[in-house]
Amino acid sequence: MRSSYLLYNKIIAAPLAAIIIYCGIYPLLGNWTVQCQVEKATRHACIGCGLTRGIHQALLFHFDKALEWNPSSLLILSFFLIALIMRFGINILLSKTEDIKRVRTLLYSDVIFSVLMFLFCFRHFFTADILR
């Protein structure tokens, strides 16, 4: 269980970091950016539109512009950053822990905290109307 958990943390850290890097460098990608499926279908902006641009502005410390692009951008960025830091932190703790009970406690607390953090940061997406 411990080795699987360590491997899972290492693998999931890569896409989490990739999402943050993508938001950071997306102006350099030109046409290789993610298109909104809702906007494609309806020609109307959805509640997720402007998230990449918002996170990009937040990474440049322009927080007011980030909130203008998408009100959830700061929360979503903090979710990805905290989740990424947690992967490394938990792997450091796991490498020092041999006791199976502690590993289990760490796993359960990680799952509970991650789910609660996810629900808090993404709450706007499942409560608001899909179109702006």
Partner 1 sequence: MENTTQNSTPTSGGWKVMGIIALVLGSLSIILSFVPCVGILAFYSGIVAAILSIIALVMANSAKASKSMAIIALVVSIASVGVGWWQAHRLANAIKDGATQFGHTMDSAIKADTAKH
Q: Which residues bind partner 1 (CB under 8 A)?
A: 1, 4, 7-8, 11-12, 15, 34, 36-39, 41-42, 44, 46-49, 51, 118, 122, 125-126, 129-131
Nearest approach in angstroms of CB 56 to partner 1 is 15
**Phi-psi group of 30: left, alpha or beta (phi > 0 → left; psi -120 to 50 → alpha; rest → beta):** left
The identity of residue 129, as a single letter, is D
> Tokens representing 124?
């706007």
CB-nearer residue toward partner 1: 35 or 61: 35
Nearest approach in angstroms of CB 42 to partner 1 is 6
Torsion angle (degrees, nearest 10) of CA 53, 57, 58, 63: -120
Sign of torsion over alpha carbons 76, 81, 87, 89: negative
> Tokens representing 73?
């951008």
CB-nearer residue toward partner 1: 37 or 109: 37
Nearest approach in angstroms of CB 1 to partner 1 is 8
Nearest approach in angstroms of CB 46 to partner 1 is 4
Q: How far is CA 95 from CA 10, 15, 72, 117, 122, in A?
A: 12, 22, 35, 24, 31
